Structures are given as C-alpha cells and as structure tokens.
Amino acid sequence: MAKARFHQKAFLMKIRNVRAGLRARSRILVVLEEGRRTIPQAAKVSGLSYDRVSYHIRLLRREKLVQRSGTRRPFLWEVTPYGQQKLAD
C-alpha cells in the first residue's frame, strides 16, 4: 500500500489528525496557495462541501495557518507563512 501524501501544513497540533481531515485540509491548502479565495470559491475548486471547507478553515485559522483579508464579507482567505515547513535540501 502506498503512503498517502498530505500537505505539510495539514497536520494540526491541537486536534487529532485523522486521514479524512488531512485529505480535506490538504486540498484546501493547495487551493489557497494558488491565490486568495472565499470559502464558496475554495469549496467549488477543491470539490468539497461549503460546510466542510468552512469547518477546516476555522481549524486552520485557530492554528494561524490561514488568515482572512478584507473587512467585509465575503472574506478572502490565504495561507500564512506559519506552520510546518519543508526542510531545506
């Protein structure tokens, strides 16, 4: 069985990391790395439901891995420089 690859920032410190959550957060983070998006846009591009994206965005925000920009809704979300990073080769 091949080992699953997840985004390095998908692993959270404050919750239990289950495979389904890691997959969802990885998809969301990949979409947000392409550019700032609203939750409905991220849901459409990632193929996940609005509720699921909203839930994982809240988890990622709690650990300061994503941040929202703008003062009015709909907020745009983007990845922050915080969190686990790839080790330099």
Token pair, residue 44, equals: 């459409």
Token pair, residue 35, equals: 């550019």
Token pair, residue 43, equals: 């849901």
Residues 6 or more apart whose Cβ sits within 8 Å of residue 21: 10, 15, 56, 59
Domains annotated on the chain, with CATH: 19-79 (1.10.10.10)
- In the chain, the percentage of residues whose pLDDT exceeds 70 is 89
Alpha-carbon dihedral angle through residues 23, 24, 25, 28, given to the nearest 10 degrees: 120
**Per-residue confidence (pLDDT) for residue 82, from 0 to 100:** 78
When pLDDT is cut at 50, 70 and 90, the band that residue 83 belongs to is low
Question: What is the distance between the alpha carbons of residues 28 and 9, in angstroms, rounded to a whole number?
Answer: 11
